[in-house]
Structure 1
Amino acid sequence: MKVAVVTGASSGIGQSAAIQIAKRGSGVILTYNSNELDAKETVRRIEQAGGTAVALHLDLGDTSGFVAFRAAVADALRVTFQRDSFDQLVNNAGFAGMAMIEDVQEQDFDRMTVGLFKGPFFLTQALLPLITDGGAIVNLSSNSAQPHTTAPGYSVYAALKGAVVVLSRYMAKEFSSRGIRVNSVAPGATVTRFADDAFAKNPEIIPELAKSFALGRVGEPDDIGMAIAMLVSEEGRWITGQDIEVSGGQNL
């Protein structure tokens, strides 16, 4: 059995990715930060479908905890999966932040840099010894980093997601000697709890936003989760170093 580590899988895209990867036969080690209850619900849904999953706590903003997290992953691999390595890593965990450039506070800039770029960078570094040769990594970028999408207020978020795209390409080059594929996936607007649950709090924005999608609707978590599952699976075996927009043609 292959095993995947999926960060931020208590809801939204991460939850979908974990479930979709499990449907393809992989065991899943999924992480949560504050939302343990929903992480356990992800585990329950995977187990209900006949899969195997373990939920571990991870604070992506605290890089000092990554060595301990690697030990927890190694323990879960040994106890639950009788493995000493895993095959698939999905760096999904993150958060949004919005402010016009003239209003950005330095502490918010630093917090986002750690959560969206430094955290995934050093988490991947920490977990690399546990990733099997021939494995696969998917990093979550965003179509906000694409030239055709420029939303005022998202300069820091989009710039950091752009950094993730470049990082993914360099990871693909450096890790290729071990046969590890690395790609990034760039979702468009997707109905999740992102941005402080903006869609649930403001459902009236959804029909208007849908007009910007060539396929006529706003994205759902499974639209992205299935693409991620494909990329880390055998079907994606000849794809590496790519940033793949999965957005239903937003702003096309």
Structure 2
Amino acid sequence: MPHVLLSNDDGVHAEGLHVLHEAIRQHASRIRVVAPDRNKSGASSSLSLSYPLLLKQLENGFYSVDGTPADCVYLGVSAIWPDTPDLVISGINHGANLGDDVLYSGTVAAAREGRALGRPAIAISLVGDTHFETAGKVAAMLLDAIDTVSLPARALLNVNVPDLPWSEISGVRITRLGRREDNSSRPIPVKDPRGETRYWIGPVGRYVDEGNDTDFKAIEEGYVSITPLASDVTQYSALESVNMWLDSLVRR
């Protein structure tokens, strides 16, 4: 059984993290939990480079870090302890990480940091805030089978679970990312106690690509969505046209 590092972006006290720990306890040889000391949703892959990080062990054995999800996985994998984990699991996130969400998600970023450090990685999210036990069962199922899947270098699995009882899950689908509308909602202005205007980031946009093979459609139909993600974001289809454009500039 693997030695597993758990992290998240909702914080070390989040319900989803504790349910995940309990769900995989019998499926791992050892579990270490390193998570942010507070909610860091939307932190993406940011690292804390302007101050040293405080790593603190809590009474339950979990470790908190006054940094980002990526900071937590970096510390959890990189030689703080003599034994390093075989696998990184991030979650269970409180809410979906579908489509464009993966660009901003601290949950996905924690898994991505693990993969960048050479460890297989899974990000798991519950599309809601009720049936965490269902997502825990999915995590345990995947953990038991992770040694049998062959992923390209620096790839990770982004898993989203419908907020349903286990008995109502339709099955599992391998999916691609859907896409939301390009124009996100406008920022929401509010006044602080001193009369200064501040802005809330607006809600996510509507779906514009929810084809049958997307993560959006799988969740809508009650299926667990598993999307392999790559770290290489090069747009290969554009290389030739950009080369031609550059050649035309040089000839001027």
What TM-score do you get using the length of structure 1 for normalisation?
0.41
Question: Which protein is richer in helix relative to its size?
Answer: 1
Q: Which of structures 1 and 2 has the larger relative contact order (alpha carbons within 8 angstroms, sep 6+)?
A: 1
User: Max radius of gyration: which structure?
Assistant: 2
More strand by share: 2
